[in-house]
Structure 1
């Protein structure tokens, strides 16, 4: 066997990876993103660009770039109108032919060895998904870290518990996912919602039975400049989170997981954090407006959860408001916040704003 045949044989053994890149109003960033994909040391790649009908020059920049730079395999898919990030990712997932898929935001970049590093574990053993660490560009703010050690988690209980503890991040990017696993479990993104990654990663954690963790950073996440959020922004954001919680609650009920400890901890913890974040910012009007939605959105009584040892006394005290009439529950929840957070000066874990 000559050296050229040896190289071709090595390439053929590599699992095909589809990199899915939604494109929307990123004409200032897309070249750096595409450069990082073209620089990949991994060779068996399919690049899927989804045109989500932006209002800037992004697709013209893409077309001009492709005239002068070649990829192994490129697909460009076009939406007829703007449908959002979730829809663009779904379009890419449905069109992908790789055994594994990787979601890349078009204003971010990959390290040169990103796919090579993340694909190494799947060349030896099957994993539902591989996750690696990431770097942040453009912000001094702390972002969710990957705090698990390098290695495999091979049962769902460990995977879900590590997610409930916040030991791996919810963003969809920088995860190398088995395409058949995603399709079989209907792990598509909820269209028409912001914060779609919250729902998707929750479902991923509930369904995956094998994940591999890599501590090495393989992704560069770019924070775009933004002004301080106004009350109007927070109101719009809170509405979106309530829709997210509705979707997660429905999923938990449909899957019969109301009394599962990690599912309860995740859902009720995030609902409480939303309300506490509103109180922390003195958004009392929004707190009063949105509390009833969350009060009605309770798939299991906290008392029943406590008796079944799903939760302990701290969470029971936090969630007792569900057992009260709505008007009293709203007051109790605010009192709990004042006692546990405000008056003690204790920071809210995972505050929304």
Structure 2
């Protein structure tokens, strides 16, 4: 099995202090036939670029680690694509620079895809999310098979940006990541993947996802991101049955309702979504009960409409 080379792509931007943890978690895998491609997306002449270069110098004699530098800051999607273009592995994995693999992750995912036929394009494992070093959430998602609609609804909680192992042929067919996306990059990629291929689940804890502290959060405009997302996938949405189309918009609008009410404290805008029929009162109640239970139980999984 170890004759299959696995390429792990780690894009990095403004987090040099956390990068070594991610790299070392890959070097410490039980599966050894791995190459690591660290793609530095920091602008040249910045302190982050200098610190990253200093950190990477400790790996310069390790032939399993490649260090690639962008000439200017692009984005995470571009960094992942740069990593892929310089990779050689039969299987491709992605790891955010502040996350880490548990020691058997690569081994169990290679075993999974080796046992599946080509209709299975990727696989994922369980994960746990840590906040301030303490477990905040455990993955309770265990779905597998044809999950295209769930992913299109942004309702499949698999942490695709650090959790997928993808066949190289599939990554090539999809032409990598869409570099126009500033957020939801992993979801956008997973939607296109799952439109054509099945997703397998490996019942083992394989990933630690580190949640940012409040001071480290990168703020975003959920309305703008959602509009871009819908525009990008309008042709996919148009192909849905009438009932699934209705479910799609209800799910996306519930996500927007939550963002407007909780993140921006815009009560009037949230109320207007109910008044206009963009969301129903019963679904809002069910959705917030679901969110409340998830928080209490410390579990992460999608909402069933």
Instruction: Give the gaps of 5 or more residues in structure 1.
Output: 1-9, 292-328
Query: How many Å apart are 1:131 and its aligned residue?
Result: 0.8
Q: Deviations over 1:55-111 (max 9, x none)?
A: 4144223332214x6243x33222111011111112112322211100011111111
Residue in structure 1 matching 2:6, options 6, 17, 27: 17
Partner in structure 1 of residue 94 of structure 2 = 103
Deviation at 1:175, TM superposition (A): 0.6
8 Å contact kept, 1:249–1:267: no
Alpha-carbon RMSD across the aligned residues, in angstroms, is 3.5
Q: 1:165 offset after TM fit, Å?
A: 9.6
CA distance in 2, matches of 1:91, 1:261: 39
Change (3 A) 1:33 1:345: closer
Larger radius of gyration: 1
1:238 alignment partner in structure 2: 223
Secondary structure of 1:270 counterpart? helix
Partner of 2:204: 216
Structure with bigger strand share is 2
Would the alpha carbon gap of residues 77 and 191 (structure 1) be closer, same or farther in structure 2, given more than 3 Å must change?
Answer: farther
Shift of 1:130: 1.3
1:114 paired residue among 105, 112, 122: 105
**Corresponding residue number in structure 2 for 1:87:** 78
Aligned length: 283
Q: Which runs of 5+ in 2 are unaligned?
A: 293-305
Counterpart among 61, 65, 80 of residue 54 in structure 2? 61
Give the aligned partner of residue 303 of structure 1: none
TM-score between both structures, scaled by the size of structure 1: 0.68
From 242, 246, 260, the equivalent of 1:278 is 260
Which of the residues 120, 125, 128 maps onto 1:132?
Answer: 125
TM-score by length of 2: 0.77
Aligned in 2, Cα 1:70/1:276: closer, same or farther, shift over 3 Å? closer
Written as runs of structure 1 = structure 2, the 5 A alignment for 1:204-353 is 204-209=193-198, 211-227=199-215, 233=219, 236-253=221-238, 257-259=239-241, 262=244, 265-275=247-257, 277-279=259-261, 282-283=265-266, 331-333=275-277, 337=280, 339-340=281-282, 347=288
Q: Cα–Cα, structure 1 residues 276 and 39, in superposed 2: closer, same or farther, change >3 Å?
A: closer
